[in-house]
Structure 1
Amino acid sequence: TPDLATQQFSIDNVIVFPNYNIQDVKDGKYSIPMNKDSLSKYAFDDIYVIDPQHKFKPKIFDRALYFKKGDLYNRSNHNLTLNRLISLGVFKFVKNEFVVSDSLSHKFDAYYLLTPRQVQSLRLEALGRTNSANYAGSELNLNWTHRNFFRGAEQFKAAIYGAFDFQMGGAQNANNIFRAGTNVQLSIPRIVAPFRFHSSSEFVPRTNITLGYEFQNRTQYYTLNNFTGSFGYVWKENARKEHDLKVIDITLVSPANVTEEYKVKSDGNPAMKRVVDKQLIFGPTYSYTYTNTMLPRTNTFYYKGTLDLAGNITGLVTGADVKKDKEKKIFGIPFSQYVKIENDLRFYHKFTEKSSLATRFIGGIAYPYGNSEFIPFSKQFFSGGSNSIRAFRARTLGPGSFDPRTIDPGTYFDQSGDVKLELNAEYRANLYKFLNAAVFVDAGNIWLLHDDPTRPGAKFSKDFLNEIAVGAGVGLRLDFSILILRLDLAMPLRVPYYEKGDRWAFDKINFGDSNWRKDNLVLNIAIGYPF
């Protein structure tokens, strides 16, 4: 080891090139080391930002860099600075060089060479889909992203979309569905707050502001106007731990044009009536995520816990209590008050490089109180579908032992609940290059916290284990790295809405019967793994 390499060095000058590219170097537009006499016009506090076109505000580098003039060099701050520059999301390549400026005094200059990504991008997405309720449709999305909106590495995203689903078969009074909307998000690479926030994480914290609107029209039933907005923060302690706090998360649902047909169908069905109620939901939400799945270990974990507190402080201040006829309103709309908790825990065990076991447990509960007797439909839990219990079609399972076959299929009404339990296990193996196979078992259900006369057996009780649905199946996955296409074929092994004592379905399996195959074999086509 050279003797000079064993000596401690301190930082002399910190010079940032935020528009670095190889072609400009070849053209001689700048060089390393820089001429010290030409640096003064680029000074900002204790750093120099070589940005003649003023594409970036110098302050973002002052926040991201952990080396200041006079600091003693150490490897931790070196890596921390590089990671923070990468996590800004506006640079494609990040590297640095150290050039000795005074070997006698053990000083060197730190150069940061940053190659920016394309500032703007436009993406168009089109898709086609069908579902088990004999609906077919299409969706079109147009997304625009600007990665340096106010020259401070702010990411601005805007999207507009339109979609339609229509009943196949040419029914005269088809209940077709049309959706259209827009949403925008501004992500600022710092904590915007009235207090000072200092982060020593290698990840830059972000402040996120979102606004959205969706128009939904079910032609024979109703029209809904959905307005959403949120303000919050996302920050990471390290690569494994992430926090997401929305200080305020608002949803306003305003119905319009509710038809007489829907009023007749929902008469005597409170759950259907609540779909077209005016809803105002606001309050903080918080989620914590821990994962070490990116590490090369035999056993890895993933956990995400979410807490949703709606209308809590407002309800306490106003003394709202719907059960005592003290329902409170804001702008003529009753606000929702509830507590919702959801936990998602996953465990992965690698047998070999080509085989592994993946398991997941989901447990959640939503409890209404004060100004609310029920949880808003959009905030309830659902079960069934390609990322849930795959032997049952999306949002058709539960609640409890309620039989969804008793519902008029023309209503196209999703089943929802206040309590959710789900357990999944999947053995995965590689067959050949990009072709993978899986064998899986799914179990779980949803329940209500209160009795619903229109859905007998839906309430959560001590008998809940007897109302667990079980499904199993096999799957093929085409893993092309940038895209994973998943095909899962599942069948029910235990059906909670069958008669007690007859809910296990092993004796009913009959692959040779076309009617049995039609009613029990469910093919799920999806993108990505279910968990």
Structure 2
Amino acid sequence: MKQTLKKITVIAVGACILSGCDAVKRVQKDDLLLTENTFIVNGKINKSETLSKLSFQKVNNKFLGIPFKLHVYNLARPNKDSIFESWINKRPKRYQRYEKLFSKKQMENIKKSALGFNNWLRNTGEIPEVLDTLKINKTKLNLERYYFSKGWFDRTVNYTVNPLSDQRASLEYQIFTGDPYEIGNKSTKIETAVLDSIYEQSNNSSWIKKGAQFDISNFEKERSRVSFNFRNSGIYHFSQDYIRFENDTIGKDNVVDVKMSIQNRIIRNGDSLWQQPFKVYKIKEVNIFTDASFENRNNLTPIKSASFNDFNFYNFKKLKYKPKAIANVIQIEKGNLYSDLDKTRTYRYLNALNSFKYPNIEYIENKKDTTLTANIFLNPKKKYGLGFDFNVSQSNIQKIGLSFTSGVVVRNIFKGAETLQVSVLGAVGASKDGAKSEESFFDINEIGADVKLNIPRMFFPINTEKIIPKYMLPTTQFGVGFTGQRNIGLDKQTFNGRLRYNWFPKKNTTNTFDLLNLQYVRNLNPVNYFNVYQNSFNRLETVAISSYPTPDDFLIQNSNGTTRLDINRADDFMTLVNSDTNFQTTNTNDYRTVRNIRQRKDRLIQDNLILASNYNLIKDNRENVFDTDFSIFRFKLELAGNLLNAVSGLVDLDKNENGEFEINNVAFSQYVKTELDYIKLWDLGRDNVLALRTFAGVAMPLGNAATIPFSKSFFAGGSNDNRAWTAYNLGPGRSDNNNEFNEANLKIALSLEHRYKLFGNLNGAFFIDAGNIWNVLDDVKDPKAMFTGFKSLNDIAVGTGIGLRYDFDFFILRFDTGFKAYNPTYSIENRWFRDFNFGNAVYNIGLNYPF
């Protein structure tokens, strides 16, 4: 990537300086370079991307108003091969001199290098877009067809070429739409009576409505809708080709009468054709072959091995699955009408089981009656699977991380298509702010294990079929896990267990409900707190040295005669200050500083016991990973500790000094937390994308807790948040805290990003990030950190910046530079652009897009 950036820098400077930014350098004498495309619709300029996409005659891409890629192309020399030969042979002694210095092979490599760079310039750059009459007329035809398809039948399209100086010209299209045509009377001619009956039942959902403006796309939608209804109502042999539309405008004033015709089924037998009415087909039998590998199907004869709820099971060898488990995922049922949707859902569920390879469903028509036999062929995957994965990662708190995971999968472990997954994890990482400067580069390590049992149905005491039918692919997961982590000094062990349900009401909608989610976090090295949070210790030491009459046994004499606070007596010093009512009266600010440091330490080193239930909803309408026009909505609700709090009084649990109920000397957490996250991308055309993200979250302590666990709090800043601040360095509110990890329980974040293409695989971005965190309804009393109402929105920090992204196909390397545009830590009149400079900029490196 460094080499690419060097090339681009040289090209950008050289293109504009050495060639004088001569955009027409490679334009032929009789040609004109197109500098602007303008579309005027009924006298008004239309800048919509829809019209731009219809144009064959494009304008060269520009960045900040300059066609950089065109200038890059202009740097390439035409006929470079002959120019090199002419140069080397121009003087007889030149070739001889170079031949003595270099071998013949080296001379060929010099020539290849020169030609290779020249070709790179041509391929990276953009050829001049010159006026082309053929392209202009094709664009004119495209525009006429487009407006005709939208109901403007009387449209006219003209164009004007406006020559400019220096072999340049602009192009202007004048479009006059006239009055649009509307849908008039609707009629149908459906020859098969049963089709006519099905159509009438859903006619209210038609895309073609009387009085609506004519739009050809609605006719395609209507054709798909009608075909979908028929093929999910038993009409096995129907296809969209049978649907015909006739539009009549004769003798009518801007009105289109529409007639839809559907003829009878056409049957071909050799050279003979005849027609007969469509028939409704029902499912007569459903046969399931659970070991239908290609080898078995070719060499063995299946034997019926079981029946369950009208499902017939056939096997070439021994039946290894419980019939109920397989039947539960099959949507095709005996006696039902034929349905494409049932077939699609069956495929989807069988694939989701992760137990079979390429399921295949075949329908056999029974000639004696209008029924179908559905044969479902399943080819089992291997019972055991072994996986290994290695990852390189980067996050808000570590420079680089290396991790590996290894796991084994056991399929059909209880003969009900269940899968058991056992995995182990190992990781090392280098933190961005290690506890001690003398520590090794990799000061983070982690080991862990996880066991998950996935059951392909709802494992629940009561029947949930009416609420969550089986077409929603309900699954149940039991999981337990353990991790031991040595991070930057505190170190911890985490135990977790969960009972999770997943279901998918629609293709793009995911529901996840953790009925029980148990987490126990044990801090192993709390005495190392002030080695980790050194800023907190420095502030405590300032109070001890400068303002409090600290006893000598709390201090250490340095060799240069100065004193410092003994880090091993820091806890004792805080206890001493907190009990000093006189100091509280005479030096309120320093007393509050010590108290806040003590409260923060107690919170961060405490062990956590969390018993929660949470619900997650995700609506993601991305078509694929390359989609650039989609939206994602996420909602999360989490409730913790309510059940434990309800029973704690009944079982007479002990309380700690803060009045909190404890289990095994650990106070359990109680809180409610909710998050809303919305992402929207708009494809602006020509590799330009506008991306928006909005986020809001709040976590409020309840009953048995005055704060929420650190792991459940919010932070601001970092490469995936407000990029003008480093991670954990923004907020809360307008406070200017020097804590290593600033966090709070309320967060608002907004980001807007314009992504565009630069050269080859290198892309650029402009972005604006806004947001902050606050404390609300917890034990923090600092007014600067608290959210007290709409006035607190004045404390939303704003950052802006530019970014470069290099696309390696399988991941994107991102480099963003963020500038502080609005810093809420300053007084209200000094917040805008005070730190808007490179000296206070934040440089972020990340993988893939921030959202």
TM-score exceeds 0.5: yes
Change (3 A) 1:146 1:388: farther
- Indicate which of 711, 717, 721 corresponds to 1:388: 721
Alpha-carbon offset, residue 173 of structure 1: 6.5
**1:91-137 per-position Cα deviation (integer Å, ceiling 9, x unaligned):** 3423311123x31222332112334455513122143658778x665
1:11 counterpart residue number: 283
2:679 counterpart residue number: 346
Rounded to whole Å, the distance in 2 between the matches of 1:45 and 1:166 is: 58
Change (3 A) 1:87 1:260: closer
- Indicate which of 604, 609, 620 corresponds to 1:291: 620
Say whether residues 1:493 and 2:764 are aligned partners: no
Rounded to whole Å, the distance in 2 between the matches of 1:362 and 1:131 is: 18
- Indicate which of 415, 426, 444 corresponds to 1:162: 426
Equivalent residues in 2 for 1:38-437 (5 A)?
Answer: 39-51=303-315, 52-100=317-365, 102-117=366-381, 119=383, 120-127=385-392, 138-165=402-429, 171-172=437-438, 176-198=443-465, 199-200=468-469, 202-217=471-486, 221-259=489-527, 262=530, 267=574, 268=594, 269=597, 270-294=599-623, 300-318=630-648, 326-352=659-685, 354-404=687-737, 406-407=738-739, 413-431=740-758, 434-437=761-764
Alpha-carbon offset, residue 290 of structure 1: 2.2
8 Å Cα contact 1:83-1:203 kept in structure 2: no
What letter is aligned with 1:469? Answer: A
Rounded to whole Å, the distance in 2 between the matches of 1:68 and 1:232 is: 29
Where is the strand percentage greater, Structure 1 or Structure 2?
1
Greater shift in the superposed pair: 460-469 or 481-490: 481-490
2:841 counterpart residue number: 520
Alpha-carbon offset, residue 9 of structure 1: 2.5
8 Å Cα contact 1:478-1:484 kept in structure 2: yes
Change (3 A) 1:439 1:151: farther
- Give the secondary structure class of the aligned counterpart of 1:77: helix
- Give the secondary structure class of the aligned counterpart of 1:237: strand
- What TM-score, normalized to structure 1? 0.84
Say whether residues 1:442 and 2:763 are aligned partners: no
Where is the helix percentage greater, Structure 1 or Structure 2?
2
- What TM-score, normalized to structure 2? 0.54
Alpha-carbon offset, residue 448 of structure 1: 1.3
Change (3 A) 1:432 1:111: farther
Rounded to whole Å, the distance in 2 between the matches of 1:302 and 1:130 is: 22
**1:167-207 per-position Cα deviation (integer Å, ceiling 9, x unaligned):** 78983467944322222222211100111122446441111
1:530 counterpart residue number: 850
Alpha-carbon offset, residue 230 of structure 1: 1.0
Change (3 A) 1:510 1:260: closer
2:57 counterpart residue number: none
- Give the secondary structure class of the aligned counterpart of 1:424: strand
In structure 1, stretches of 5+ residues that fail to align are: 31-37, 408-412
What letter is aligned with 1:64? Answer: V
Alpha-carbon offset, residue 309 of structure 1: 0.7
Alpha-carbon offset, residue 47 of structure 1: 2.3
1:476 counterpart residue number: 804
Change (3 A) 1:392 1:480: same
How many residue pairs get aligned? The number is 505
8 Å Cα contact 1:121-1:146 kept in structure 2: no
**1:124-181 per-position Cα deviation (integer Å, ceiling 9, x unaligned):** 2143658778x66543333434444434332333322233345789834679443222
Alpha-carbon offset, residue 326 of structure 1: 4.0
2:197 counterpart residue number: none
1:34 counterpart residue number: none
Rounded to whole Å, the distance in 1 between the matches of 2:717 and 2:688 is: 26
Change (3 A) 1:204 1:223: same
Change (3 A) 1:481 1:398: same
Change (3 A) 1:83 1:127: closer
Rounded to whole Å, the distance in 1 between the matches of 2:527 and 2:627 is: 57
Cα RMSD (Å): 3.4
What letter is aligned with 1:256? Answer: L
In structure 2, stretches of 5+ residues that fail to align are: 1-265, 268-274, 531-567, 575-593
8 Å Cα contact 1:383-1:398 kept in structure 2: yes
- Give the secondary structure class of the aligned counterpart of 2:793: helix
Say whether residues 1:459 and 2:786 are aligned partners: yes
